Structure 1
């Protein structure tokens, strides 16, 4: 599979079932001010790119300003919480090869150094699956800005022991009964992967996922303790994130080789509580090519980072933006997905 870095032609978009003016419509949205702080758009159908746009703008690396960037196909960009969805895939790959216990395994048994916490009867029922679905039932607050030290993810990063900080949170709901957005949940999954495979999370990702996909460059930000952030630290170029999306659409196959099991991917993308799967968001959206709305799946990240998938249309789309910590950061990527990509998909 190859992903070109040059803009696809009008004829190519039309051949893939899209309005040939789709790129012009994207530019019109930018010029009108309806699409703000957009850095990159890269979208493909049936592994062929039909929309590609690289802009220039101010950017950050895990909250640290890095100035004005001219983005291109080789630019590493924060995924922020899209990282969580990649970690879900990595757990599935580790599970397929017997390196980690299954989702129904007790969580605290994998952290024996916290025997005092494990002795709490309220925590006995918590499983790995609850971490994968953010249904631990533990107190966690990421509604505060990420510059606020009381934001739970920031507090975790500043804690002397990140795992004790997570595991000792007060129980406020029965495990599995309530979805609470939690970078702490994913930090636990990352630790389970590392303990199972005997490698750091970035090293396992390189070996088990990135190398088979031909992804040679990435960066994974780590906290002061040297632990790579499973919740938000990964940086990838847009074409490489698109490859991961296409791997999901192919149910784990890449160039005829099995990288992840179809069973894991199907389970990950199945909503278990509300609109949430195993560290993936789920929903449906209309497209003119279909008589009824079709299911989509997505990895979402702070600032407007998105990996969108619509399997029935065989569409994968990557959107990078720079509206970090803004309440309306969701607006631009949602408009690009629904009003530019799906609204101009005319012929299935």
Structure 2
């Protein structure tokens, strides 16, 4: 196992950032005890300064394709899985700022004129882009099945002869806007709107307007058999580069004095638009909750991008903390446990002074 951790000369710097200087030792104790499992990377920063860093070795995959045993470091690309959705939210905001895509209240089916029969259906004609961004389309979608199951809706979409008809033709099971139904299909539609409106593939647009301005030079975006990049789960980034995207959002969309995405879009994305069955809020492709830390007298809001296998981008704006967690527990029902414990019991529990 390869571990990157602070040595004692760094501990005063960690303390100056408001954290218990023993935070690394606590992380390692959790790993060695077996309470924190299947970790690949932990990277966390406050106000741009890294205070927690861990790289390990373990089995990994690329969008389901086994990669064998990988020694992770700051240069290793890693699947984001559904954290990709939160990056796509940022990309839609950038495209909207540039006047390239319709606003969230625009009719969704108007962006897909090749399906006039679906647009004529009064039950779905009024569905908006905003409802795709908040996963409140009201359409049937089942990603509770394993992603190895061809009846999983995302896998069925990838195998369909026309992915967009497959999504838009799902049965209506709830009034649009009334209920959150987790849906990679809704994000595939958002990705298609970006690509159609900008005249670029989603990866090319991301490279030009987000990655290059942040200095992100290496990434990979997995695509289906039809060559369409997966807006729902296909992006691979290094941990430091995903952390930079998090820090861009904490800086309200500014990077080295340059406006990358509007503050209005970030605020709207982080505002709860609906709630999930497990009690979290959900904005525009971001999960929303709150959590305590000793530095605060009351719990403070956090925003998160969540991905299969334990992938996480956590943000707590009031603390100016961003954290990236990569894990290898793909398709496991309890993959959420380790990243949640690291966020709440290692990072926030050891944040002592704001």
TM range (shorter): over 0.9
What whole-Å deviation, never above 9, does each CA across 1:91-116 have from its counterpart, x for those lacking one?
00000000000000000010000111
- 1:97-176 counterparts in 2 under 5 A? 97-176=98-177
Cα deviation for residue 7 of structure 1 reads 4.4
Map of 1:86 onto structure 2: 87
Could you tell me whether the CA contact under 8 Å between 2:5 and 2:52 is conserved in 1? no
Segments of 5+ residues of structure 1 without an aligned counterpart are none
- 1:1-348 counterparts in 2 under 5 A? 7=6, 9-274=10-275, 275-348=281-354
Whole-angstrom distance in 2 between the partners of 1:107 and 1:195: 13
Whole-angstrom distance in 2 between the partners of 1:205 and 1:293: 34
1:333 counterpart SS class: helix
Cα deviation for residue 10 of structure 1 reads 1.3
1:239 counterpart SS class: helix
RMSD: 0.9
Cα deviation for residue 311 of structure 1 reads 0.4
Segments of 5+ residues of structure 2 without an aligned counterpart are 276-280
Whole-angstrom distance in 1 between the partners of 2:125 and 2:162: 21
Cα deviation for residue 124 of structure 1 reads 1.2
Q: Which runs of 4+ in 1 moved over 4 A?
A: 5-8
Could you tell me whether the CA contact under 8 Å between 1:7 and 1:53 is conserved in 2? no
What whole-Å deviation, never above 9, does each CA across 1:263-286 have from its counterpart, x for those lacking one?
000000000012100000000000
2:203 counterpart SS class: helix
What whole-Å deviation, never above 9, does each CA across 1:102-155 have from its counterpart, x for those lacking one?
000000010000111111011111000000000000000000000000000000
What whole-Å deviation, never above 9, does each CA across 1:203-240 have from its counterpart, x for those lacking one?
00000000000000000000000000000000000000
Could you tell me whether the CA contact under 8 Å between 2:5 and 2:24 is conserved in 1? no
Whole-angstrom distance in 1 between the partners of 2:298 and 2:24: 25
Cα deviation for residue 255 of structure 1 reads 0.5
Could you tell me whether the CA contact under 8 Å between 1:284 and 1:294 is conserved in 2? yes
Could you tell me whether the CA contact under 8 Å between 1:133 and 1:272 is conserved in 2? yes
Whole-angstrom distance in 1 between the partners of 2:114 and 2:100: 20
Could you tell me whether the CA contact under 8 Å between 2:118 and 2:125 is conserved in 1? no
Could you tell me whether the CA contact under 8 Å between 1:39 and 1:71 is conserved in 2? yes
- What TM-score results when the alignment is normalised by the length of structure 2? 0.96
What whole-Å deviation, never above 9, does each CA across 1:23-73 have from its counterpart, x for those lacking one?
000000000000000000000001000000000000000011100000000
